[in-house]
């Protein structure tokens, strides 16, 4: 009986196996099974692909880390300053110079109030020289959002102007106005910094971030005596229009929206000139080889009110009106700006010019920059003196004038501009000497 039972169970087991085989074979030959099989195969391929990509990404990250270390070694960058010391907490007033342009004052101050992140951190002070009631009323309309200071008008003050300079009277009044207003900010109000603007300037959305985040550099670097929002060669055809956060050091004092410290004013106040204050600051006796920070894309621009200034619109149509104002709201506090410290910047910049830029004659530049495949490359053009620089600057459509022997935007004799995405370094200091 037990044997019969065992045989029966054995046949039953074989029957079940045969049934499963037949059913499985039937399922395999159905369209549904084909779809499931394709899906499983695709899933398997995807898993293998993801595994490969994950391993590839890890390899790239390793290479990038190695490259970063190599760049630091290549340029021998200084260690970064402690992050906590870069955050500037003290108020930085914006000092707006005005005279007789009521509409200009209104539009300029409206933008300042619209963009500033804090009334306490960035108090706005408007200083007026002329006895113009319309200007005064426009400023008063802002209420306690703006501080207003007034001086005896320059045309009523006893200003001594040399006979041969009577045509430049406005420049003497402006210099006096600057002295009075800056003494008020630093000596009366005891601020440690100031951002200086004029009522004919436009400003960018990140105007305040730009100045706040660069202020620590002035404290750390005695060779840095200003931060300027202006690029003298900032026309669209001469800049890298996508380099929103790119900043440079420059031997040239730009002005037109700039910041300085109380230490600098303490040095200059007692010897402040009676006229032409900006050119006076560019004199080697005052500059003392100090430098300024300037942006690739300007954070200030000239409005149409600039036609009515003391210079009577000099350079306005050809250059000033064409300066591009940055429209991107860059948070500079999230960017490590230690590369702008003197040793860091010099090593990186000189390597870019002397090692990475190919030497080229000015006659070859036009054809080179018009070739799309050259976008992103860097070339170097040599100039041998002032006249040679003027001729080459004119061909590149950048400002060609010198102030106290320094070309506009120059760093150690090198002027950087962009045309069609090609970096052009116009170099005098070392390359020209080696080529003579």
Catalytic positions: 278
What is the C-alpha radius of gyration for the chain, rounded to an integer number of angstroms? 33
What are 402's strand-pairing partners?
407
Count Cβ atoms below 10 Å from residue 66 Cβ, excluding itself: 10
Residue with tokens 């007692």: 270
Name the residue among 323, 292, 285, 298 with its Cα closest to residue 411: 292
**Separation of alpha carbons 183 and 270, rounded Å:** 10
Count Cβ atoms below 10 Å from residue 366 Cβ, excluding itself: 11
Whether 381 contacts 411, CB under 8 Å:
no
Q: How far is CA 189 from CA 136, 197, 212, 262, 271, in A?
A: 21, 18, 19, 11, 21
**Separation of alpha carbons 358 and 424, rounded Å:** 10
**Separation of alpha carbons 179 and 125, rounded Å:** 15
**Separation of alpha carbons 409 and 353, rounded Å:** 15
**Separation of alpha carbons 245 and 178, rounded Å:** 30
Helix 133-140 and helix 102-115, axial crossing angle in degrees, nearest 10: 20
**Separation of alpha carbons 266 and 121, rounded Å:** 22
- Token code pair at residue 400: 């060609």
- Burial label for 234, CB within 10 Å (0-12, 13-18, 19+), is buried
Phi, psi for 109 (deg, rounded to 5)? -65, -35
Name the residue among 407, 174, 408, 169 with its Cα closest to residue 277: 174
Torsion, Cα 78 353 281 115, to 10 degrees, reads -70
Q: How far is CA 310 from CA 192, 306, 316, 417, in A?
A: 29, 9, 12, 28
Give residue 231's region: left, alpha or beta (phi > 0; psi -120 to 50): beta
The SS3 call for residue 253 is coil
């Amino acid at each position: 009986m037990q044997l019969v039972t065992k045989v029966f169970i054995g046949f039953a087991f074989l029957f079940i196996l045969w049934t499963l085989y037949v059913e499985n074979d039937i399922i395999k030959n159905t369209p549904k099974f084909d779809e499931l099989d394709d899906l499983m195969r695709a899933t398997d391929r995807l898993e293998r692909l993801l595994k490969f990509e994950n391993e590839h990404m890890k390899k790239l990250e390793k290479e990038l880390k190695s490259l970063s270390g190599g760049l630091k070694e290549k340029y021998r960058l200084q260690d970064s300053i402690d992050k906590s010391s870069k955050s500037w907490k003290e108020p930085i007033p914006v000092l707006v110079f005005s005279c007789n342009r009521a509409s200009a004052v209104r539009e300029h101050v409206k933008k300042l109030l619209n963009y500033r992140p804090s009334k306490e951190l960035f108090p706005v002070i408007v200083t007026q020289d002329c006895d113009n009631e319309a200007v005064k009323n426009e400023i008063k309309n802002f209420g306690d959002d703006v501080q207003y200071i007034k001086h005896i008008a320059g045309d009523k003050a006893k200003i001594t102007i040399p006979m041969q300079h009577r045509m430049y009277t406005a420049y003497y009044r402006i210099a006096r106005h600057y002295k009075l207003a800056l003494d008020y900010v630093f000596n009366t109000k005891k601020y440690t910094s100031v951002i200086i603007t004029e009522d004919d300037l436009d400003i960018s959305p990140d105007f305040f971030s730009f100045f706040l985040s660069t202020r620590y550099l002035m404290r750390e670097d005695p060779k840095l005596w200003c931060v300027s929002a202006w690029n003298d060669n900032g026309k669209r055809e001469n800049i890298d229009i996508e380099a929103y956060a790119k900043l440079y050091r420059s031997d040239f004092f730009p002005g037109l929206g700039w910041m300085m410290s109380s230490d600098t004013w303490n040095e200059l106040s007692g010897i402040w000139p009676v006229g032409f204050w900006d050119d006076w600051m560019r004199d080697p006796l005052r500059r003392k080889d100090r430098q300024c920070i300037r942006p690739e894309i300007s954070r200030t621009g000239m409005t149409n009110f600039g036609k009515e200034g003391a210079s009577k619109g000099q350079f306005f149509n050809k250059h000033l009106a064409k300066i591009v104002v940055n429209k991107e709201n860059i948070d500079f506090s999230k960017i490590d700006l230690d590369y702008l410290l003197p040793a860091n910047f010099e090593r990186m910049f000189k390597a870019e010019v002397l090692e990475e830029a190919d030497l080229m004659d000015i006659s070859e530049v036009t054809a080179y920059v018009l070739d799309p495949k050259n976008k992103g490359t860097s070339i170097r053009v040599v100039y041998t003196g002032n006249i040679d620089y003027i001729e080459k600057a004119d061909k590149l459509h950048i400002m060609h004038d010198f102030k106290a022997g320094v070309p506009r935007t120059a760093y150690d004799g090198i002027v950087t501009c962009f045309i069609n995405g090609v970096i052009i370094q116009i170099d005098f200091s070392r390359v020209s000497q080696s080529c003579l």
